[in-house]
Every structure is written in C-alpha cells, then in structure tokens.
Amino acid sequence: MQEEDYQLIDRYLAGQLNEKEKKTVEARLESDPSFAEAMQLEREMALFLRQQPQRERLKEQFATLGEKYFTEPPPARKEVRILGLSRFQWLVAAGFALAVVAGALLFTQLQQPLYEQYNQHPPLALTEKASDGVNLSQVEQAFNTGRYQEALEGLDQYLAAHPDDLTAQLYKGIAALELKKYEVAIPIFDALRQSGSDFQDYGAWYLALTYLRQGDRARCRALLQQIPKSSELKGRAEALLEELG
C-alpha cells in the first residue's frame, strides 16, 4: 500500500470523492484484496475512535456491576478420605512423612525467597511517549538495570505531567515495590487492579507480589485467584499459587 492509497481511503470515508473517483475506488475494493483490507482497518479505526468515550464509561460501570453480581460462591470443602491402614503401615507412612517434611524444610531453606523467583519485570519502554523535559531513555535504562530509586524519581517527574499514563503508573509501582516502599506501591497496584483497563491483571499480579514480599500469603493467594484464565499472567499466577500451597 502506498501513501496515496491511504489518502484516497481517507477521502473516500470522509465522503470527499466525486462520483467517478468513488466508482474507481469501489471497483478496486472488489479486485484488490490488500486495498480492501486497508479500507476495512481504516473503518475499524474510525469506529474505535467514535466509540471510545462510551467504552470508557461502560468499563467503569461494568467494574462496579461486576463486583455486585459476580460474587464468589463459598468454597466447596474437600472430602478427606482416611484410608484403612494397619499399625505397621501407619508407622511406615509416618516415617516417610517425617522424611518428606525434613527434606522439604531443607529444600526451602536452600531456595531463594519466593518473591525473588517471581519478580522478573517486563522491560520498561517509554521513549515512544512525549517527554516534556524528562529524559525518558535515562529513566528506562535506570529501571531496566535495577536502579529503581533513579527510575522512581524520573517516573514521578513524568507522571506529574501525565497523571493518566497507566504504563508509567505500573512501573512506578514496580520501582516502589523493589525499594520496599509499600505505602507507595499498594495504592497504585490497587487502582490499576480496579481500572477495568488492559492493566488490571498486572495490577492484581503486582499487588499479590507486594503482599507476598510483605509475608501476607493469604492476601497474595486471594489476589492470584482473581486473575482470569484468559490473562497472559494466568500461568505465573497458577505456578505461584501452587508454591504457596
């Protein structure tokens, strides 16, 4: 597709072509699949822009209604089956269980803390954004090389001018979490979790990691369970849930 093709499509959709030009475009839609595809995408982009304010309003409303109408049923109790074992079998089983417990304890001590097995963050990429005096590539570099204090300061500065930028908010939260500034991280992740945006699952995931790092496994577990199956984070959430037991 050439630049002129896009201009032609724009003018066609804006109703700016004369009859003859319109006929030429319509004939080309029939004969040229890539032209037809480009036209379709332009229509979708226009539709998106038209509907976006309404989508945003609906998202907010859905978040409220969702909490009200989708409530978790009380968990079903797992049936515990007690097998009929002889006294000798019990002794063997108990010995085996002790060995397993001892092994598990040793193994856990040798392992890194759970948080550090799960705190691999996606790299920060901000240079696409308008900067207003903040050197964004420096902020990116600081974050991506683990200089979180510097990244946090840069992100704060950037967010002062762009308070609605969800990507920057998320990364500010991560930087704060890494610095153990939980009082900064928690409200950010919690707001993202309830934002109804693409970032809501990340909000829940990082809030869960924050609680994990604070040692609050119950809240961590509850949040992980909220991550829907369709989320790209589901796999990690399930793995962590398993480790939490």
Tokens 């609605």 -> residue: 164
Name the one residue in this structure whose structure tokens are 């040692």.
Answer: 215
Q: Which long-range contacts (CB under 8 A, 24 or more apart) does 236-243 make?
A: 236/118, 236/205, 237/205, 237/208, 240/114, 240/118, 240/208, 240/212, 243/114, 243/117
Tokens 């869960």 belong to: 208
Q: What angle do CA 51, 48, 66 make, to 5 degrees?
A: 60
Listing DSSP states for 119-183 in one string gives: --PPPP--TTS--TT--HHHHHHHHHTT-HHHHHHHHHHHHHH-TT-HHHHHHHHHHHHHTT-HH
Would you say 168 and 159 are in contact if contact means Cβ atoms under 8 Å apart?
yes
- Would you count residue 160 as binding other proteins (CB under 8 A)? no
Stretch that binds other proteins, among 16-24, 63-71, 87-95, 108-116 (CB under 8 A): 63-71
Q: How far is the CB of 228 from other proteins (least distance, A)?
A: 4
Burial code (b: 16+ CB inside 10 Å, e: under 16) for 18-44 equals eeeeeeebeeebeeeeebeebbeeeee
Of the ranges 19-27, 172-180, 186-194, 226-234, which one interacts with other proteins (CB under 8 A)? 226-234
Size of the site for other proteins (CB under 8 A): 43
Stretch that binds other proteins, among 17-25, 62-70, 79-87, 145-153 (CB under 8 A): 62-70
Query: By C-beta, is 152 or 227 nearer to other proteins?
Result: 227
| Residue 199 beta carbon to other proteins: minimum distance, rounded to whole angstroms | 9
Nearer to other proteins, 178 or 188 (CB): 188
| 239 interacts with other proteins by CB under 8 A | no
Q: Confirm or reject binding of residue 73 to other proteins (CB under 8 A).
A: yes
Helix (H) or strand (E) holding 243: helix 234-244
72, 79, 183, 242: which one contacts other proteins (CB under 8 A)? 72
Among 27, 36, 47, 106, binds other proteins (CB under 8 A): 47
**Minimum CB separation from other proteins for residue 128, in Å?**
6
149 binding other proteins? (CB under 8 A): no
Residue 88 C-beta: closest distance to other proteins, Å: 42
Decide: is 32 part of the binding site for other proteins (CB under 8 A): no
- Please report, as ranges, the residues that interact with other proteins according to CB under 8 A: 6, 41, 44-52, 54-55, 57-59, 61-62, 65-66, 68-73, 128-130, 162, 165-167, 196-198, 225-230, 234
